[in-house]
Structure formats: C-alpha cells, structure tokens
A and B are shown apart, each in its own frame.
Chain A
Amino acid sequence: MSLEIQNLHVRTEDREILHGVDLVVRKGETHALMGPNGSGKSTLANTIMGNPNYEVTEGKILLNGEDITEADPDERARAGVFMAFQYPATIPGVSVANFLRMAVNAKRPDDPIKVKEFGQLLRQNMDLLRIDPQFTSRYLNEGFSGGEKKRAEILQLAMLKPEFAVLDETDSGLDIDALKIVADGVNALRGPEMGGLIITHYTRILNYVRPDFVHIMIDGRIVREGGPELADHLEEQGYDWIREEVGAGA
C-alpha cells in the first residue's frame, strides 16, 4: 500500500515548477519533504490533491498502484488521500461540526454516521488536540487565528483517518505551545494504517515528529534523500551547503 509519485512534471499557467519528481510513501511511514521557499513543495502537495491550478504535463501519481493523476480532488479524498492546507479556505456559515460530519459522511454515503457516534468521535479527537468544545460551533476558519486554523486541519485529519496525509507547512505560524499540541496530535495518529508526508521549511516540527525518511527539494527536484539525520544536518547548516553541492555536481 503506497502513494507513489513517478517522474512528475507540473506547471502553472506561467512556467514549469516540478521537473520530474519521484517519491514513494508506504503506509506506516512518515516522510519529511524539506526545502527552501519556492522550491516546489506546496506545488507537489497541491498536485497530489488534484488542485486544478496545477497541470501535470508528464509522470503519474499512483495510489495503491492505481493511477489517480487525472482524478478529481473529491475522488482522491474518498480514496484515502488528505492534505492539511498551509492556508485553508474560510467557509462562512458552515460550522466546524457540520463540516466535519459532511466530510465524514462523504466517505460513507450509504451509511451516514450516527449522531451519537459522531459526537463521541469528535470529543475524543478534540481532547487529543486540546480544542475548546465551543470551537465546533464556529464557522470553519472564519476569524480563526493561525494556530486555530492549523488545529482545525489536524482535527479533520483525525476525524477522516486517511491512508495518506500530506501536511503542507502545518508548523508555520504556530508558537511553540501550539506546535507541540499539533505534533502530539500527529504522533498519536501515526501508525501502521497511515502514511504521512510532512512538508516543511524548518526542522522545528521534526524535533517533535521524527520522520523515517527525509527528502530535500530544491528548484522543483528532489536533490537529497536520507534518514532523520539529514534533517539534523539541515538544522545545523541550512540549505546553502546543499545548493553548493548540487550546483557543483551539475
């Protein structure tokens, strides 16, 4: 069981951003994708999810062997792919609880979740993420602080239990307390049933969520891969040494 990216080339209206990316995330593994701003990390996340603003010109995305490169975002979601957004949209007039129930039911259209069961599941996950119960009656992301938005994303992750989750810069904009809460949540959700791809600019979150594999992306290509020690190395030395090495090798 895996999420597999093969030779992925992606462009927006103006230009090509990803120039042939290969990456395999197996269920049960946690990967970190690191890279400086503008390297194409968020493009990869959005393309995995099927954002219509990004066009795949070459290569494939396979979910458990099945080609989902052309699938609509909702099909991917129901098939078990999830993305926690860096900047999630605001949905006025729709409460967190209502939205979560609709999202949970989208995966089980013939057997909608019972109100009681949903309530229990919600409470359990809110406890996990230390979220105030009143939070769920607010409109999704409307007037939320940066930290609240990120927690709402992780709450959705916890409720939807996807097979593969992409966390796009979930650590950005979080103070250290909020970061620890989010990291605790992610750690609690890790396990043999989920594969994770944590996209981050900084090594900060990786001190709390230790990845099994680290990939470094620069200018639309994955240029280095290794274990968690690669992240430690970045922590100490920044991205410049990689740029230099890649530049020298080219």
Chain B
Amino acid sequence: MPSPTFLEERRKAALEVFEREPLPTWRRSGFWTTSLRKLRLDELEPRRYDPVSSLDELNPVVSEALRDEELAGLIVQRGASTVYTQLDPAAAEQGVMVMSLEQAFEEHPDLVERWYMKRLSENEGKFPAASAAFWTGGAFVYVPRDVVVDKPIQVVWLIDEAGTAQYAHTLGIVEDGSKAYIREYNLAPDFEGQALHAGGFELYCRPSSNVKLAHLQDWGSGEVHDISTKRVEIAADAHCGWVPAVLGGHLTKQTLDIVTHERGSDMRQNGLYFTEGNEHLDIFTTDLHEAGDTTGDTVWKGALTGESRASYEGLIEIVFGAQNSHTYLQTHSMLLSPKAKADSIPSLIVKTDNVSASHGGTVGEVDEEQVFYMMTRGLHRLEAVRILVEGYFEEVIQKLEDDRLEEVVRERIAGKLTEAAEQVEDYIAQR
C-alpha cells in the first residue's frame, strides 16, 4: 500500500533542494557559460487558466502547430493549468490514458507512483527541483501492453503571457509489446517580457515496445527561459526513436538523455536546432548504455544566425559490464553569421570492453563550391543558401516520418532563413 503522502513527500524533498541551491551557472571549458543572471525569477509566477472547450479558444500557435490532425489523445497545458484534454474513443477502448498528472495521481496512484521520478531526481539542481516541487496540472500518457496506437498522442505546453512561470512534468509509459507515437510541443506566441518553463519529462519504453517520440520547441521571440530535463528509459528489446526539434527560445538549457537499460534495447536520436537573434542554446545529451547488447545512434544538426550561440555536448556512456554495445554519435553545426558562435563537444566514457562507440563533430559554414554550383543553374545566391540549409536539415527532418510535423519544421526553418536573409547575404558576400 503506497503512502498517501507519496507526492507530498517528493514535493517537500524537492522544495528543500530548490531553496538550498543558488541560481545555477553552467560553465564549460573556460569559455562557454550559460548564466541566468538576467532571469528575474521573483517576478514570474504560475498562472491559472480556466479549461477551454475547443482549441480555437487558445492562442492560435496551438492549432497552427497541430493543423487539425486526428490524434489518439491530446492534453494542453496553458501556464499552470491543464486546459484541454481529449481522448479518441478507439484509444480509450484500448486502455490508452491521456490525462493530467494530477488526475492520474488521484485515479491510478499505484501505477503512477511506481514510475514517477524513477529516472528524474530533485537532486539534479535548482530547476529540476523547482519543477518537481511546483508542477501543477502535468501530463500523463499511458499505453497498456500489446496495443498499437495508430495516431499520435500529443502533449502541448503553452505559455502565452509574459510573467509566466510554468513548472512542467510529463510522465509517459508504453507497456510491453506496444507501439505508439508521442509528441510534445513547447509553444509560445511572440510577446515582450520574460517567462520560464522549468520542465521534467520522463518516458518508459517497456520490453519489446516500439516508441516514436518527437519534441518541438518554438517559444517565439519572447524572453522564454527553458530549463528542462528529458529522459527516456528503454527496456529489453524495445526501440525508441526520438526527434527533438529545438527551433526557438531566448535561453534554453536542455538535458536530453536516453538510457538503454536492458539487453537488446535500441535508441535513435536525431535532433536539430536553429538559433537566431541573441538566442542562447545549451544542449547536453547522454546516450547511456546500462546493459550489454544495446545499440544507439545519435545525430544532431544545427544552424545559427544573428548573434546567437549554441552549444551541443553529447556524451556516450557505457557502464561496466555492458558488453557488446554499439553506438555512434555525430554532431554538425552550420554558421550563417559572423557573430554567431557554435560549439560541438562529443565525448565518450566507456567502462567495459568489447564495445564499439565512436563520435564525430563538425562546425562549418556554407560551402562556397556548392553555392557556385547552384548559382550556375540560375538560382540566386540567397536561394542557393536557403536550399543548402534546408537540405542540410533534411536528413534529420525525414526521420520524423510525420508529414505534418515535417511541414511545420520545414516552414519554421524557411521562415527563420527569410528573416535573416539580408544578414546571411552580407555574410556570404563578404567571405
């Protein structure tokens, strides 16, 4: 019999960490720092909203991203409140659950307590502690064993007012032998002023399950600070393919980890980012192999315009005894402005023998030879660059295998390139 105060105790422990810890600064290799100096945390607060009966009542960024797609389930959180949930009757029949995490704690305490914060910890820092202490609403996704959920299961986190502090938690479980596609979008319209999204995301892919996961982050041009930890655990013989698309945020510090936890598990992570203006992006991924006979493949591609900065650090870690693990990590970034700065740091910690693990990284600029070639076919210089950048991302975008989301991502990238057009043109002409 689980303790009735399970959640309260976890929140209390998290609150202690939050109050004890100072505002963090992430420093690395002497020259890269992610600092929250400018975040006025005291001026931000969780904002409550009433439920809506239709997506049309919400800021249009939501329906614009979802595009009338038929979904197996949908949960939308605005600020601190779950404002919309929907479950396809066929999915409900299968036993699929999509509801707020608060509701799940009430209705299915045994199930939720078994998994909640199994792979996340309040001890990871001030912001993981903040989201663990203060989350409200929350998202819970459950797929029972041996079902195939055809349509996507969608979670949306919306911030539409400056001054918002959004403490988020998503818990997903896909049981043995099931197949599902889970998408989580972080959306905000353009606004002036600060906001915070402090998020925890945990997904458990149970034995022999096959899970597709996509994240779309587009926080608009407001000063949204996104400090999130997303972690996926993959059980025996299960597969998870994860495509995080990080397309906009004033300051983003994300930790994205995949744990191949039991033998035969397989992970693919194909991430992309595009930073512009004065955005600051700091991504850390870990491909952690906790068992032998596991496989992994990580590819990240990014592009930068304006004075933006992006750092990608990717770690492959293979623990003692995880023999016969095979994994690969590669990271590429493309600079489209002289003032942008990119950093790619792949690294390896291998504590066992008989494994293959390797990595590669590039930071590059648009290849002048390619541009010349395309211009000889009549394409304007800027058009050539646009096509090259889109082509560069295409390898990752196609991994989504999701026509609508692919379209959204392509449009956003094209839009960002158009916005930066003059600057990109000057840059290339000067070289």
Show the binding face of A for B, using Cβ within 8 Å. Answer: 49-52, 72-74, 76-78, 82-83, 85, 88-94, 99, 102-103, 106-107, 139, 156, 160
The residue from B367, B375, B390, B392 contacting A73, defined by CB atoms under 8 A apart: B375
With a CB–CB cut-off of 8 A, which chain A residues contact B375?
50, 72-74, 77
Contact B379 A93 (CB under 8 A): no
Give, as a whole number of angstroms, the nearest-CB distance from B428 to chain A.
11
A94 near B378: Cβ-Cβ < 8 Å: no
A-B contact pairs, 9 of them (CB 8 A): A51-B372, A52-B372, A74-B376, A74-B378, A74-B384, A91-B374, A103-B377, A107-B378, A160-B378
Q: How far is the CA of A77 from the CA of B380 in the complex (A)?
A: 10
Of the candidates B378, B381, B384, B393, the one whose C-beta lies within 8 Å of that of A93 is: B393
Q: Give the CA-CA distance A103 to B375 in the complex, in Å.
A: 9
Tell me which of A77, A82, A92, A107 contacts B394 (CB under 8 A): A92
User: How far apart sit A50 and B394, CA to CA, in the bound complex (Å)?
Assistant: 29
Q: Which residue of B lies closest to A73 (CB)?
A: B375
Report the bound CA distance from A209 to B15 in whole Å. 81
How far does the Cβ of A42 sit from chain B's closest Cβ, in whole Å?
13
Known A74-B378, A74-B379: A93·B392 in contact at CB below 8 Å: yes
B392 touches A89 (CB 8 A): no
Say whether A92 contacts B391, CB under 8 Å. Answer: yes
Q: Report A-chain residues with C-beta under 8 Å of the C-beta of B391.
A: 91-94, 139
Contacts of B378 in A (CB 8 A): 74, 77-78, 103, 106-107, 160
B395 and A74 within 8 A (CB): no
Q: Could you tell me the distance between the alpha carbons of A76 and B374 in the complex, rounded to whole angstroms?
A: 12
Residue interface mask B378-401, A partner, CB < 8 A = 1: 111101100110111111000000
- Closest 7 CB pairs between A and B? A93-B391, A93-B394, A106-B378, A89-B373, A103-B377, A77-B378, A73-B375
Residues of B with Cβ closer than 8 Å to A?
A: 367-370, 372-381, 383-384, 387-388, 390-395
For A81, give the chain B residue with the smallest CB separation. B376
Q: Are B373 and A88 in contact (CB under 8 A)?
A: yes
In the complex, the answer to whether A82 meets B387 with C-beta atoms within 8 Å is no
Shortest distance between the CB of B387 and any CB in chain A (Å): 6
The answer to whether A82 touches B368 (Cβ under 8 A) is: no
Q: Report the nearest A residue to B389, measured CB to CB.
A: A93
Please, which residues of chain B bring their CB within 8 A of the CB of A160?
377-378
How far apart are the CA atoms of A49 and B375 in the complex, in Å?
9
Please give the distance in Å from B369's CB to the nearest CB on chain A.
5
Question: Is there contact, CB below 8 Å, between A89 and B370?
Answer: yes
- In the complex, what residues of B have CB within 8 A of residue A51's CB? 372
Nearest B residue to A52 via CB reads B372
Residues of B within 8 A of A139 (CB): 391
Residues of chain B within 8 A of A85, CB atoms compared: 373, 376
Cα distance A89–B369 in the bound complex, in angstroms: 7
The CA-CA distance from A78 to B114 in the complex, in Å, is: 66
- Pairwise interchain contact A92-B392, C-beta atoms closer than 8 A: yes
- Residues of A with C-beta under 8 A to B374: 89, 91
CA distance A32 to B394 in the complex (A): 40
Contacts of A91 in B (CB 8 A): 370, 373-374, 387-388, 391
List residues of chain A with CB within 8 A of the CB of B383.
Answer: 102, 106
A74 to chain B, nearest CB (A): 4
**Chain A residues, CB < 8 A from B381:** 72, 74
- Cα of A72 to Cα of B429 in the assembled complex, Å: 12
Closest residue to B395 on the A side, CB-wise?
Answer: A93
Most buried by A among B370, B377, B390, B395: B377
Chain B residues, Cβ within 8 Å of A92: 391-392, 394-395
Bound Cα distance from A85 to B369, whole angstroms: 11
In the complex, what residues of A have CB within 8 A of residue B370's CB? 89-91
Contacts A78-B378, A82-B376, A89-B373 aside, 17 further interface pairs with beta carbons under 8 A come to A72-B375, A72-B381, A73-B372, A74-B375, A74-B377, A88-B373, A90-B370, A91-B370, A91-B373, A94-B390, A94-B391, A99-B377, A102-B377, A102-B387, A103-B377, A103-B378, A106-B380
Instruction: Specify which of B367, B375, B390, B393 lies most central, judged by the most chain A CB atoms within 10 Å of its CB.
Output: B375
Given contacts A51-B372, A52-B372, A89-B367, contact A106 B377 (CB under 8 A): yes
Contact B376–A49 (Cβ < 8 Å): yes
Q: How far is the CA of A152 from the CA of B285 in the complex (A)?
A: 40
Contact B377 A77 (CB under 8 A): yes
Known: A52-B372, A89-B370. A102 touches B379 (CB 8 A): yes
In the bound complex, CA of A90 to CA of B395 (Å): 14
Interface-central residue, B370, B378, B391, B392, by most chain A CB under 10 Å: B378
Nearest B residue (CB) for A72: B375
In Å, the complex CA distance between A180 and B357 comes to 46
Which chain A residue lies CB-closest to B391? Answer: A93
How many angstroms between the C-alpha atoms of A107 and B378 in the bound complex?
A: 7
Q: Using Cβ atoms and an 8 Å threshold, which residues of chain B touch A72?
A: 375, 381
Give Cα distance in the complex from A93 to B389, angstroms. Answer: 9
Assembly CA distance A246 to B428 (angstroms): 43
Contact with B379, one of A83, A103, A156 (Cβ below 8 angstroms): A103
Give Cα A77–Cα B383 distance, bound, in whole angstroms.
14
Rounded to whole angstroms, the CA-CA distance of A43 and B368 in the bound complex is 17
Closest B residue to A74 by CB, please name it.
Answer: B375
A227 and B133 alpha carbons, distance in the complex (Å): 87
CA–CA, A51 to B376, complex, Å?
A: 9
Does A106 lie within 8 Å of B387, measured CB to CB?
Answer: no
Select one of A83, A93, A94 contacting B376, CB under 8 A: A83
Q: A91-B370, A92-B395 are in contact. Are A77 and B376 (CB under 8 A)?
A: yes
